[in-house]
A and B are shown apart, each in its own frame.
Chain A
Amino acid sequence: MPHGQAAALEARQPIASSSQRLLAIGGILLIVSGMLLGDIFAIFILHPNNARIGEAMYAAAQLVPLGDAEGIVQHFMAVGGFLENRGTKVAAHSHIIHMGYIALLLAMIQPWVALSPASKRRAAWFYIVPAALLAPSIIAIHYVGKAYSPFEHIGWASIFADFFGACLALAVFIQLLGLWRYARSEGRETLSPAYIGAGNAASRALLLGGLLLLVGGFLYGAALAAYKDFAAAPQEIDILKAIVANAAAAQQSLLDQSFADYGQFLKLRALNIAAHAHINEVGILVLLVSFVQAFVQFSDKTRLRWAQLMVFSAFALPAGILLEIPYGIVGSIIADWFGFMLIVSLLAMMFGMLRHTGADDAAAGGKP
């Protein structure tokens, strides 16, 4: 099938061609796996690890007045291991979800990528395979370490992760090349994917809600940076200096107080970053969901209600995270509840899409 004909088909349906199907389904699977892995890591690794890091640092501080340098180094090597374990899991979780978002967006721009259908299919595979292998490579960094590595600072798992990252950069560049060819082609058709311009109330509510969330996320990030730079925000280094000085002076009660301050500092930093990140992540998710509203087969009123629930939950989830600062567990419950509401509204939209595919099948006489 020539490019023009294939592109016209892709502009009518979001999963008309094999490259679109591969990118859309692969993207959804990546996002789902990223979310699932995030939950598993949070429960079994991230939270227990935070406690272990604090314990190891506290134990190292106890050895300062004893002058036990070797013991201190041992504890900090353990801290390094815990941090690497946590860091690689967080990086894998975040990268896999972002690779999924990019795959979905690449699926949507396929009508404008002026390559032959076979090249587009190969380019889609060239994106999806490294995207799927990147996260396992990042996770393996902690377990493989530097065994048999030819380099001083990086091990084989890092080398593979970097290789897959380079493949992904090249895969996106190929899509950019296709877009450039489309822009340069003479007498090109002015294609516009029909599913993006659905224009229904639900799609509009999600678009507006998603954009406002992102603006809120940016403002929140800017306010955090301003607070850190211009206000008298507590600095990590001041707390660490107090810890070292109190440990050296064997002032146990002051040392305990300094560790309590450090714990509070880390908690505030983590919650603020989590709120900022969740506002932006959920904002992007809400925007992406707005694109599929043309395929959610409910009445306009019902579709709008689910969209409104999703937008409200998307605002309430980060608000709950922030409420953890003054109210602790109450804030967590609010954040968890609205996270659950987000999943419920997503599932409802998925059922609406299943109804749409069912109606399409029925219209085709029930034939596959």
Chain B
Amino acid sequence: MKAPQQVLIASGLALIAFTMGFGVWYAIFDEHQTLDAIGASLAGAFVHAAGGDMAAAVVSLENYAALDREYRYEVHAHGHWGMLAIILIIMGLVFQRLGLSPPRGLLLAWVLAGSAALFPLGVLLQIGPLLGAGKVLAVAGSAGMIAGMLVFAYCLWRRPQG
């Protein structure tokens, strides 16, 4: 196994183990509580409206929207870490067919591994006070993954014999 393959496969496995651990932590300490709060906020909005308190209804709806967004981003990060890790392992398995020089191969592997780790982290950071930094990380991670995969596809395409 070459060094770029080690980077891709090891980081893929590490990301899978990490996102499974994150999923367990999230399910125990946050998910059910967040889901309960989402339901209570939406129902609360209708109950406040029924009581004629429209200002409180709007506050409940805004609370619902914020919690729903938080929930979606957390599930999004968990799911994307897993999917991107699977893709890293697949690319690690076929990396030998690219025919890249060792330094270029290693650079490509690190760009892909780093992007796969940072993109979901950026999504997760957008929940808290680091929204701006989270957006930058998410865009950079997503761009790195797309560029890396395009380079990967180009290298496969130009080497018909593999």
Contact = CB atoms under 8 A, between A and B. Distances in A.
Given A98-B82, A193-B93, A112 B1 contact: yes
Say which size band chain B's interface belongs to.
35 or more
Given A73-B43, A169-B20, A180-B10, A291 B93 contact: yes
A241 interface: yes
Nearest to B149: A215
Most B-side CB within 10 Å, residue of A248, A287, A291: A248
B54 A248 contact: yes
Interface string B27-55: 11000110110010011011101111010
A215 B150 contact: yes
Contact of B157 (A83, A208, A222, A237): A208
Given A72-B43, A172-B16, A207 B83 contact: no
Interface string B6-37: 10011011101110110110011000110110
Interface in A311-332: none
A166 B21 contact: yes
Interface in B141-162: 142, 145-146, 149-150, 152-153, 156-157, 160-162
A346 interface: no
B67 to A, nearest CB: 11
B117 to A, nearest CB: 15
A36 interface: no
Interface string B84-102: 0011011001101100000
Contacts of A72: 43, 46-47, 50
A110 to B, nearest CB: 12
B28 A69 contact: no
Contacts of A54: none
Most B-side CB within 10 Å, residue of A175, A191, A214, A291: A214
Nearest to B19: A169
B61 interface: yes
8 contacts: A69-B50, A76-B39, A112-B1, A162-B24, A173-B13, A225-B138, A244-B58, A280-B83
Interface of B: 1, 6, 9-10, 12-14, 16-18, 20-21, 23-24, 27-28, 32-33, 35-36, 39, 42-43, 45-47, 49-52, 54, 57-58, 61-62, 64-65, 68, 79, 82-83, 86-87, 89-90, 93-94, 96-97, 138, 142, 145-146, 149-150, 152-153, 156-157, 160-162
